[in-house]
Structure 1
Amino acid sequence: MPALTTYRTPVLPDWVDYNGHLRDAFYLLIFSYATDAFMECIGLDGDNREATGHSLFTLECHLNYLHEVKLGTEVTVQTQVIGHDRKRVHLYHSLHREGFAEALAASEQMLLHVDLAGPKSAPFEAAVLARLQGIVVEQEDLPVPAFVGRVIGLPK
């Protein structure tokens, strides 16, 4: 299985800057919507959140801007599960447009499963873990993306 297609949208007029490019913050908005769709895919949809009081919180996010994205461009987000344990999931989102092979942007994210009553970390339910593991197995032949594990810093 390839990476999951989790979100699709045109770049809207309110999302572009004075250069006609997608503003920095809206890359993250698009990836955030992809995370919401991923949550639905693994069973953490609105009904589950209401019934269990559990959700995902973002612990860390790295965002790489790789190519310009202009007004009106139809973009899609591909999502790959890099790994997970009983409380966390490590995701990689990449932004694409049809007819262009390279990713336009990439976002590596660490998410924590949380009991909102605390709030405090909580183990995933068995059904959610099973869905996560199923995706991992389906994606096991995918290479580790180039922008996973990067660190920001100036050369010394």
Structure 2
Amino acid sequence: MEGEATYRGTVYPWHCDHIGHMNVMWYVGKFDEANWNMFARLGVTPTYLRESGCAMAAVQQTISYKHELLAGDIVEVRSRLVDFRDKSLRILHEMRNAETGEVAATCEISAVHIDRAARKSVPFAPAIRYAAMHHLVPSVSATV
């Protein structure tokens, strides 16, 4: 998968479970960090969220585990914005072992833009819609 690099990090020993590979909670965390990097590229920055009273809420996340990661492995996540709508978006992430190039996992997440006070979905600002069009790479689902 092509896409933009949205996360780079290392698997530390405390990320590993009783079988010796990175535990699922850390995959979710690394994909979450990739989400925030992708959001920022669209203009959904911490400043925007504070000033607008809006937030992003995950409504669906599907992770497919392909190859284990071990302590010491270097991880890279590449991401693509695959769907953008008035009030929601969908991002496809691919996590690889940066040394071997093997795909460790994929994650597809759908998120909704919400008004924090009203707790309801609201349209993205025009500037965010404009930025999103430059990042949009329509694709099939990662879960095939």
TM tier relative to shorter chain: over 0.9
Q: How many Å apart are 1:3 and its aligned residue? A: 0.4
Counterpart code for 1:14 = W
Counterpart CA distance in 2 for 1:62 and 1:45 is: 24
Are positions 1:147 and 2:137 aligned together?
no
Indicate the residue corresponding to 2:69 in structure 1: 69
Match of 2:25 in 1: 25
Q: Which residue of 1 aligns with 2:89?
A: 89
Equivalences, count:
143
Question: Which residue number in structure 2 is paired with residue 107 of structure 1?
Answer: 107
Report the Cα offset of residue 145 of structure 1.
5.4
CA contact (8 A) 2:8 2:74 kept: yes
CA RMSD of aligned residues (A): 1.5
Closer/same/farther in 2, CA of residues 145 and 104 from structure 1, 3 Å limit: farther
1:45 — aligned with what?
45
Tell me what 2:132 maps to.
132
Please state how far the C-alpha of 1:96 moved relative to its aligned partner.
Answer: 0.9
1:10 maps to 10
Tell me if the contact between 2:108 and 2:141 (Cα under 8 Å) persists in the aligned partners. no
Q: Cα–Cα, structure 1 residues 48 and 62, in superposed 2: closer, same or farther, change >3 Å?
A: same
TM-score with structure 2 setting the length: 0.92
Flag as ranges the 4+ runs of structure 1 deviating above 3 A: none
Instruction: Report the secondary structure of 2:35's partner residue.
Output: helix
SS at match of 1:68: coil
Aligned 8 A contact 2:73 2:99 in 1: no
TM-score (norm 1): 0.85
% identical aligned pairs: 22
